[in-house]
């Protein structure tokens, strides 16, 4: 069964901490994405990557960075976590033709 | 910029009835539309998609209708079951998707 795996389901971090959210896909997909999901705001794109070592800003990149050193792994980094980054984070991957597959999400709480 | 909106944040239907979830979009250049289902505690799951050269596509108990004239997309679920309870999202685009805010579908016994 093909999968997108996010390393943590729940995380609690302190304000100012550096936070890494990891995502791995086993489908050899070219594209990978990070979204955050908040009540009333739907899914908003943070960053995406069309290839290894490539990254593009999404709609809300401020306060985040990403890393894609290998095709199967896409990491989201919060350089200095803040309380307004408390959210559900969803990773997805797709082929160049589409066909998104999502991970189960990481619920991050910043205290 | 692009936007995708759902008409109702919540929808309640009786078990066995048909459900219709609606979505409006702004980018007429987009040629690919998808419906996702998200159950509590899970990531969104693909339900059905449609390209702009079609106006209707059917799956198992689901039908997607696309009206390009009014930029409207709908998802019809036949004979709604308790397992259909979830949040439903429409999305448009291809490599990069733009999502609507979601409609929470609740099934009444």
Q: How much is the average pLDDT of B30-45?
A: 90
Q: How confident is the model at residue B26 (pLDDT cuts 50, 70, 90)?
A: confident
A57 touches chain B (CB under 8 A): no
Reply yes or no on whether the pLDDT at A32 is more than 60. yes
- Comparing B99 with A74, the larger pLDDT belongs to A74
Contact A42 B95 (CB under 8 A): no
Residues B49/B64, Cβ–Cβ less than 8 Å: yes
Distance of CA B85 to the CA centre of its chain: 13
Contact B95 A50 (CB under 8 A): yes
Q: How confident is the model at residue A1 (pLDDT cuts 50, 70, 90)?
A: low
Reply yes or no on whether the pLDDT at B5 is more than 80. no
- Residue of chain A whose alpha carbon sits nearest to that of B93: A98
A70 touches chain B (CB under 8 A): no
Residues in chain B with CB shorter than 8 Å from the CB of A58 are 96
Q: Return the residue in B48, B96, B98, B103 with the most chain A beta carbons within 10 A, the one to mutate for interface testing.
A: B96
Residues B32/B79, Cβ–Cβ less than 8 Å: no
pLDDT, tens digit, 9 for 90 and up, residues A67-84: 999 999 999 999 999 999
Question: What is the secondary structure of B9-70 as a DSSP string?
Answer: SEEEEETTS-EEEEEEE--TT--EEEEEEE-TTS--EEEEEEETT-SEEE-SSEEEEEETTT
* Spatial CA neighbour of B87 closest among A42, A27, A49: A42
Reply yes or no on whether the pLDDT at B59 is more than 90. yes
- Comparing A100 with A25, the larger pLDDT belongs to A25
């Amino acid at each position: 069964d093909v999968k997108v795996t996010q390393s943590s389901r729940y995380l609690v971090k302190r304000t100012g901490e550096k936070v890494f959210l990891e995502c791995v896909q086993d489908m050899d997909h070219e594209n990978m994405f990070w979204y955050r999901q908040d009540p009333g705001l739907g899914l908003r794109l943070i960053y995406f990557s069309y290839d290894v070592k490539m990254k593009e800003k999404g709609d809300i990149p401020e306060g985040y960075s990403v890393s894609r050193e290998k095709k199967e792994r896409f990491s989201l980094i919060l350089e200095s976590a803040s309380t307004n980054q408390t959210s559900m984070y969803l990773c997805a991957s797709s082929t160049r033709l589409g066909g998104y597959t999502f991970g189960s999400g990481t619920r991050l709480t910043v205290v | 910029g692009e936007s995708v909106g759902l008409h109702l944040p919540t929808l309640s239907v009786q078990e066995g009835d048909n459900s219709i979830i609606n979505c409006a979009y702004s980018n007429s250049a987009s040629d690919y539309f998808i419906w996702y289902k998200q159950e509590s505690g899970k990531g969104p799951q693909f339900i059905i998609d449609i390209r702009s050269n079609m106006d209707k596509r059917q799956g198992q108990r689901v039908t997607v209708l696309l009206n390009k004239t009014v930029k409207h997309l709908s998802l019809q679920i036949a004979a709604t079951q308790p397992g259909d309870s979830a949040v439903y999202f429409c999305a448009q685009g291809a490599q990069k998707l733009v999502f609507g805010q979601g409609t929470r579908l609740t099934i009444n016994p």
